[in-house]
Amino acid sequence: MVSLPASEFYGDVIKTLTSAEVPFVVGGAFALKHYAGVARGTKDLDVFLCRRDLRRALDVLAERGYTTDESFPHWLSKAFCGELFVDFIHASANGLCQVDEQWFASAVTVTIFGQPALLCPIEEVIWSKCFVMERERFDGADIAHLIAARGRSIDWRRLLDRVGEHWRVLFGHIVFFSFAYPRERGKVPAWVFDLLMDRMNAERDAEDVPVCNGTLLSREQYLVDVRERGYADARLPPWGSVPQTEIQAWTDAIGKVK
């Protein structure tokens, strides 16, 4: 197993993937720092790529001597260098936010660990963070910081298109933002707020569907609903796309991995 200092390992991963012409964008703490100016210590590097490119990415890193693992095939794989690791993400853990060509078309070029790389677009950063609402991790503050810093330059129409039918989740974060930063409410265009309010008013009535969408937000906190209260899991077909075996593996890992 190769053993390197963190900066050398992460820089080598970026250089290796670039040399092998594996398309990827970097997200996580680096995106938050770039867009919102919020610095956060990180023990890993988040690399987002299309699922079709995952195998090639892992293979070229294995050839470099790194240990690789398809930890949770429906969304997450890893490459290790001692205690350090890189996360390879091709979708969210709930099966949503799958990486596609738009992640690259709107990406920006930055330098990370001395290597040029594409950075995840801010719209995709917000989209993927919208659904992170675990007891131990809630990304709402990240979204609030991103809107406060970049609200006037966010492509709100594209972001709305990304969240699609799950627009209520984005609306919730916008409401949280308006509470956290009263002086910054103008960072969200009035037409966005009005559009989402109109949707809320038009769809106030209960829907007769036996599904719990809470599992799209937390893998743990809504288990009681699908296990004991007769609700369908929104991650499973026909509502979602994650196989039952993958959901079980991800559930079994609660408290063990990120």
Provide the 3-class DSSP secondary structure of residue 187. Answer: helix
Looking at this protein, which amino acid is placed at residue 176? F
What are 175-186's pLDDT values in tens digits? 999 999 999 999
**pLDDT band at residue 1 under the 50/70/90 scheme:** very low
100 pLDDT more than 70:
yes
Please, what CATH class does the domain formed by 6-120 belong to? alpha beta
3-state secondary structure of 81: strand
Asked if 123 contacts 155 with a C-beta cutoff of 8 angstroms, the reply is yes
Q: Can you list the pairs that 211-219 forms with residues at least 24 positions away whose Cβ atoms lie under 8 Å?
A: 211/239, 213/166, 215/94, 216/94, 216/96, 216/131, 216/166, 216/169, 216/240, 217/94, 217/131, 217/132, 217/133, 217/169, 218/133, 218/134, 218/135, 219/93, 219/94, 219/134, 219/250, 219/251, 219/254
What pLDDT sits at residue 257?
A: 62
Q: What is the DSSP letter of 43?
A: S
Average pLDDT over residues 54-65: 98
Distance between CA atoms of residues 251 and 257, nearest Å: 11
Whether pLDDT at 3 is above 70: no
**What pLDDT sits at residue 116?**
97
Mean pLDDT (the chain) is 96
Cα 40 to Cα 32, 77, 182, 223, distances in angstroms: 8, 22, 25, 31
Check residue 207 and give its pLDDT: 86
| Domain ranges, ordered by start, for the chain | 6-120, 139-202, 211-252
Contact 102, 25 (CB under 8 A): no
C-alpha neighbours within 13 Å on the C-beta side of residue 87? 20
60-90 tens-digit pLDDT: 999 999 999 999 999 999 999 998 999 999 9
Q: What is the pLDDT of residue 252?
A: 97
Mean local confidence (pLDDT), 115-141: 98
Nearest Cα to 90, choosing from 112, 107, 71? 71
Residues 199-250 have pLDDT tens digits of 999 999 988 899 999 999 999 999 999 999 999 999 999 999 999 999 999 9
Number of residues written out for the chain: 258
In the predicted structure, residue 117 carries a pLDDT above the cut 70 = yes
Q: What residues contact 227, with CB distance under 8 A and at least 6 apart?
A: none
pLDDT at 251 exceeding the cut of 50: yes
Q: What is the largest CA-CA distance in the chain?
A: 58
The predicted model scores a pTM of 0.95
Q: What percent of the chain has pLDDT over 70?
A: 98
Question: What pLDDT is attached to residue 42?
Answer: 72
